[in-house]
Amino acid sequence: MSTTIALGQPTVGDAELAAIAEVFKSGWIAGNGPTSRKFEAAFAAATQADYALATSNCTTALHLAFHCLGAGKGDEVLVADYTFPATGHAVMYTGAEPVFVDVLPGTATIDPAAVEAAITDKTVGIAAVDYAGQSADLSTLEQIASKHGLWLVEDAAPAAGAQHAGRSAGSFGDAGCFSFHGRKGITSGEGGALTTKHADLDAKARKLHAFGIESALDRAESTDLPVPEFDELGFNYKLSDIAAAIMTVQLERMPTLIADRTKVADRYNAALAGNELVTIPQTAEGNVHTWQAYTLTLDPTIDRGALAQQLRSQGVQCNIGTYASHLQPLYGFKQTCPVSADLFKRHFTIPMHANLTDDEVQRVIDTLTTALPQARR
């Protein structure tokens, strides 16, 4: 049998290894050190944000954002239903309640009209999600947030490098949260970042991500012996400087990695646009997609499980899109989001990463186009 074509794969190599060697030599491999500072400055510049804070992952960045924006018991946060459940979890960590809002069928991002309809006197903020590497309609959401006095957080976990209306993911609303997990477009295995335009939010999150005290780097650079005081219940949400070193290289490579993924997406789109058994992913006007994942919507006549079995037996990995949060038992089945529920059933992701060869892309296309008619119910 031919080799397996992975659904996702990191693109890491000699340049990242050299950066790791450097940080080893520097002696500072823990978090919140000189290499993290350097990465944060580069990431803020790349996302057109005023501030960036490196975090252990996106979920901790989301928790910090919601916490620092004041979410707590008795509050409702409007959350895009179609997402990896980290978004809802992070709202719950603060004691606030996630209220799941349906998404648009084309982009699978939160429906601004449904957001407005879901606002109550308990609503404090909106958490939008950039599904599969494409921004939500953030410009419209900013207007809604400001009209109703709500904050807006962008869960940009898969969307480093994405653009919406001429602006970068991470520059919208009150905060942007990114993931550098191995399945994302740029990665250090695990990792994340919190971007913001607010100096006070950055300062608060920065303090709380390191136990609630001033940074060890500032103390190390001092000539006297500063003894920090613990006056706030902080967390340990730091990114190690080893990971920050990897991320500094990944960020430099980001334009090339996105271009490589875009080439794959263009070939899939060209080959599958005319196939009546699938709908190709839609990129909204004014968006630059980063293609963290490539998601087809299957015709209702297709048995997704049978299709997956066909592909997997031929070494082509595949998966669902993501989760309909309102259908997860943890959240108590309080809302209905029919579009999200439908995408949860019919979305189908096929291999997408920057290492795919032309031959592999062709093999995915051929395997899929042969298997589709056979997987009809």
Site residues for ligand PLP per CB under 6 A = 57-59, 83-84, 86-87, 129, 155, 157-158, 179, 181, 192
- 31: Cβ contacts below 8 Å, ≥ 6 apart: 54, 56, 210, 238, 239, 240, 241, 244
Query: Least distance (Å) from ligand PLP to the CB of residue 120?
Result: 24
In the complex with ligand PLP, which residue's Cβ is closer, 127 or 277? 127
121 contacts 75 by C-beta, under 8 angstroms? no
> Residue 87 or residue 163: which is nearer to ligand PLP going by CB?
87
Nearest CA-CA partner of 106 in 340, 277, 322: 340
Shortest distance, position 188 Cβ to ligand PLP, whole Å? 10
Please state the closest distance from residue 152 (CB atom) to ligand PLP, in A: 15
> Cβ 11 to ligand PLP, closest distance in Å?
17
Length of the chain: 377
Q: Rank residues 159 and 217 by Cβ distance to ligand PLP and give the closer one.
A: 159
Closer to ligand PLP at the Cβ: 89 or 267? Answer: 89
**What's the min distance (Å) between Cβ of 149 and ligand PLP?**
25
Burial of 27 (C-beta count, 10 Å sphere; 0-12/13-18/19+) = exposed
Nearer to ligand PLP, 87 or 335 (CB): 87
Helix spans in the chain (H): 14-26, 34-46, 58-68, 86-93, 112-118, 138-148, 199-208, 216-221, 241-272, 304-313, 338-346, 358-374
Nearest to ligand PLP of 44, 153 (CB atom): 153
β partners of residue 74: none
Q: How far is the CB of 114 from ligand PLP (least distance, A)?
A: 18
Question: Half-sphere exposure of residue 265, counting CA atoms within 13 Å on the CB side?
Answer: 25
Beta-bridge partners for 51: 196
Query: What sign does the CA torsion over 148, 150, 156, 159 have?
Result: positive
Per the CB < 8 A criterion, the answer to whether 337 and 102 are in contact is yes
